[in-house]
Amino acid sequence: MAGVALRKRVMRGLSSRPASIAIYLFVMWGLIELALTGAEAMGYNWQWYRIPKYFLTSDADGITLGEIPWGLAGTITLSTLAFGLALAIGLLVALLRLSDLIVGRAVARGFLEIVRNMPLLVLLYVFYYVFGPIFGLDRYAASVLCLAVFHGALISEIFRGGINAVARGQWEAAKSIGMTTAQIYRYIILPQSIKFMLPPMTGEVVNMIKSSAIVSVIAVVELTTVGRNIISDTYLSFEIWFTIAAVYMAVTLVISSLASYLERRYTVRE
Amino acid sequence: MSDSKPIIELRHVDKSFGPFQALTDINFSVRPGERVVVCGPSGSGKSTMIRCINQLETHDAGSITVDGIELGDDTSDIRAVRQEVGMVFQQFNLFPHLTVLENLTIGPIRVRKMGKAAAEALARNYLERVHIPEQADKYPSQLSGGQQQRVAIARSLCMEPRIMLFDEPTSALDPEMIGEVLEVMVELANTGMTMVCVTHEMGFARRVADTMVFMEGGRIVEVAPPEEFFTNPKSNRARMFLDQILEH
């Protein structure tokens, strides 16, 4: 008994905020220390001073953006385009799956299973090397479509879950005043499903940004491609990959905190 | 009034949910302006029957005619009927993301294609009728159960239906709120609205019903005027049911 009480107290102590921060700092310090000693053992020559110019350079003409911000802009543009398209695909697939059409349900189901069970890299090769020549897609279009299809399939499940989470009585009330199915979705169901969809949807935005890195294999310009290019010029692999990772993290953390702000706003309003 | 054509007519209606036969050979009609109260033990098919009238449940066999339209597979026919038939639910089913006023105007605006100003005037008029004009800008969750149900009644009335269906409108309410909802329903009955109410409120039934319908096991067991039904029910089962629910 005493053992249980003690364990509870220890657990409670460990989950307090100052303790959490201390543990976090300790773990991070350990990881960094490990990387540094490892690099030292390899005789790695750190050259962090060469990194800032890939962000910004200033000279007589003023400030010039380096390659990393351009790469980031590429990542954000690519992800935004692909996410917009993925939302449309996801909604369409979800509505088909929830429809009364047997063919529609089968098509949606087939699409979902094919996409979900294929590695993203393979899907990218299919879009670039197979659909590319057939439909005349350049590498950028192939990348956007590939990401949109891949995430569209996942997003369709988020939509489906969100739509199903709205109480059945809402459908009945809306039907009983004579609304069409389209009106019911638009005015009654979708506005209410937003609060159910927001958390998983944020996860998808973050995933999209991270998985957009894969298009570097077909040399579409974005953050990871930029990193690879810089490394092939400079051999600064440790510094650059740490930097690129930090940039990805910064972006996704901003998105997550934005989303939790939105979430709070949506839940307050009911 | 007895010679006027029925506004609702069910003939030989059957309905089953999988292996469970919910309705068996339902024959039933309602004249314009008639107030019908449907009662019976739970699971007797009362709700299923009135939900068939606006096709929230589809019937398997037989025919249902509402306001001259026979209900079949044609979804635009069904929508046309739903615009003439208001429905009030046990769980209110207000739209929680819309204000009270928006709950009331969304039907007139989106379905009847009414202008926003006209719809709001209509909505405020009906909120007045259900005695809560001051709640127009609140969200449903800010209202009591009785107020929510009155909003739900007003929402249906805003479609200016010819028929109102009530599916156990007071069963989910705290006892002290039942009266305010019944009062609104009595006032509505006094305006000559055609009403079909599934309810256990026998006091209400005595006050407003023209016809009592007693159901059990998916069948209509007895149809009678209230004075006859309450004082001298023909069927044994109706008598037992009344004994049970009038005891307290």
User: Is residue B150 situated within a structural domain?
Assistant: no
Residue B51 inside a domain? The answer is: yes
Q: What is the pLDDT of residue A8?
A: 84
* pLDDT (0 to 100) of residue B214: 95
The minimal CB distance from A270 to the residues B54, B97, B111 is found for: B97
Contact, A221 vs A96, CB < 8 A? no
**Rounded average pLDDT over A187-196:** 91
Contacts of A129 (CB under 8 A, 6+ apart): none
pLDDT (0 to 100) of residue A42: 81
- The CATH number that applies at residue A242 is 1.10.3720.10
Q: Is residue B119 part of a domain?
A: no
CB of B125 within 8 A of CB of B155? no
Angle at A70 between CA A68 and CA A71, to 5 degrees: 60
What pLDDT, on the 0 to 100 scale, is given for residue A1? 59
What sign does the CA torsion over A176, A179, A185, A188 have? Answer: negative
Q: What is the pLDDT of residue A6?
A: 83
Q: What is the pLDDT of residue B119?
A: 95
> What's the rounded mean pLDDT across residues A164-193?
94
Mean pLDDT (whole number) for A68-80: 91
Please state, in angstroms and rounded to a whole number, the distance separating the CA atoms of residues A236 and A250. Answer: 21
Instruction: Inform me whether the C-beta atom of residue B157 falls under 8 Å from chain A C-beta atoms.
Output: no
> If you count residue pairs, one on A and one on B, with CB atoms under 8 Å apart, how many are there?
64
Q: How far is CA B24 from CA A115, A129, B30, B37, B107, in A?
A: 47, 62, 19, 19, 34
Structurally, how many domains does chain A consist of?
Answer: 1
Q: Is residue A103 part of a domain?
A: yes
Do B200 and B124 form a contact (C-beta atoms < 8 A)? no
Nearest chain B residue to A191 by CA: give it. Answer: B97
CB contact under 8 Å between A183 and B111, yes or no, is yes
Q: How confident is the prediction along chain B (248 residues), in pLDDT tens digits per residue? A: 455 789 999 999 999 999 999 999 999 999 999 999 999 998 899 999 999 999 999 999 999 999 989 998 888 899 999 999 999 999 999 999 999 999 999 999 999 999 999 999 999 999 999 999 999 999 999 999 999 999 999 999 999 999 999 999 999 999 999 999 999 999 999 999 999 999 999 999 999 999 999 999 999 999 999 999 999 889 899 999 998 887 75
Nearest-CA distance from B53 to chain A in Å? 11
In this prediction, residue A85 has a pLDDT band, given cuts at 50, 70 and 90, of very high
Q: How far is B159 from chain A (nearest CA, A)?
A: 7
CATH of the domain at B221: 3.40.50.300
CB-CB neighbours of A46 under 10 Å: 12
Q: Which of A100, A170, A172, A176 to mutate to test the interface with B (most CBs of B within 10 A)?
A: A176
What is the model's pLDDT at position B248? 56
Number of H helices, E strands in chain B: 9, 10
Chain B residue closest in CA terms to A179? B111
Task: Report if residue A10 sits inside a domain.
Answer: no
Q: From A195, which residue of chain B is nearest by alpha-carbon distance? A: B97
- ipTM of the shown complex: 0.92
For residue B212, what are the β-bridge partners? Answer: B37, B224
Distance CA B68, CA B62 (A): 16
**Whole-number pLDDT of residue B1:** 46
The mean pLDDT of chain A is: 88
Residues A166-181, mean pLDDT to the nearest whole number: 94
Closest chain B C-alpha to A169 CA, distance in angstroms:
6
Domain range for A139: 67-268
**3-class DSSP assignment, residue B56:** coil
Residue span of the structural domain in which B36 resides: 8-93+162-246
Q: Residue B61 domain-assigned?
A: yes
Q: What is the mean pLDDT of residues A259-266?
A: 81
pLDDT for position A268:
56
Taking only residues 80 to 109 of chain B, the set having a beta carbon closer than 8 angstroms to any beta carbon of chain A reads 80, 82-83, 85-87, 89, 91, 93-97, 106-107
Q: What is the pLDDT of residue A226?
A: 87
What would the pLDDT profile of A89-131 be if each residue is shown by its tens digit?
Answer: 999 999 999 998 999 999 999 999 999 999 999 999 999 999 9
Per the structure, how many domains does chain B have? 1
With bands split at pLDDT 50, 70 and 90, how would you rate the model's confidence at A195?
Answer: confident
pLDDT at residue A123, rounded to an integer = 94
